[in-house]
Amino acid sequence: MRGYFAIGAERISKPVNAGNLFRSAHAFGAAFVLTIAAESRVERAPSDTSHTPEHVPWYHYDRVADLDLPGGCRLVGVEFLPEAEDLPSFPHPQRAAYVFGPERGVLSPELLARCDHVVRIPTRFCVNLAVAGSIVMYDRLIAYGRFPERPLSSTAKPEPVPPHRHGSPLRRSRA
């Protein structure tokens, strides 16, 4: 898979949610994780059994204005807003930092103003922060991974993996 991604959260306060989110980011291969105005205890979350900070760079920013991403990295806000683009239709940037809002809250207006894209998971209501992060990372994996199309029935055989042209990600059709 080409490119990279990062996972972040703004004003996160529950260590269990942070630990689950960042453990999943580690498992999916995040290049780094970040927090903005987070409570300090989220970095010592016992639910992060993979010990993400020992293996993946972790950047903490006290304010949105301090957020500093690598050149060319697109900031993607994930928020339950009617005007946000539905995740299944979203073309993931090759270099992206996905940021999630706090529990029982939304991304701040300052952070939303900095986002290059805002996407939403098309559910009836908000899901848990760590669950939302895993859904976004899985969608990115499906979009950029080298996987054959799914068969249309449970008795059909999967297609062989299509060839991958160097320099461009394989995009699955979402028909």
Q: Which long-range contacts (C-beta less than 8 Å, at least 24 apart) are formed by 171-175?
A: 171/91, 171/143, 172/142, 172/143, 172/147, 173/149, 174/88, 174/89
Q: What is the enclosing helix (H) or strand (E) of 120?
A: strand 117-120
pTM for this structure? 0.85
Domain parsing of the chain, residue ranges: 4-144
* 33 φ, ψ (degrees, to nearest 5): -125, 160
pLDDT in tens, 28-75: 999 999 999 987 766 778 787 788 888 999 999 999 999 999 999 999
> Token pair of 133, please?
């992060």
Q: Say yes or no: domain 4-144 is CATH 3.40.1280.10.
A: yes
pLDDT in tens, 87-124: 999 999 999 999 999 888 899 999 999 999 999 999 99
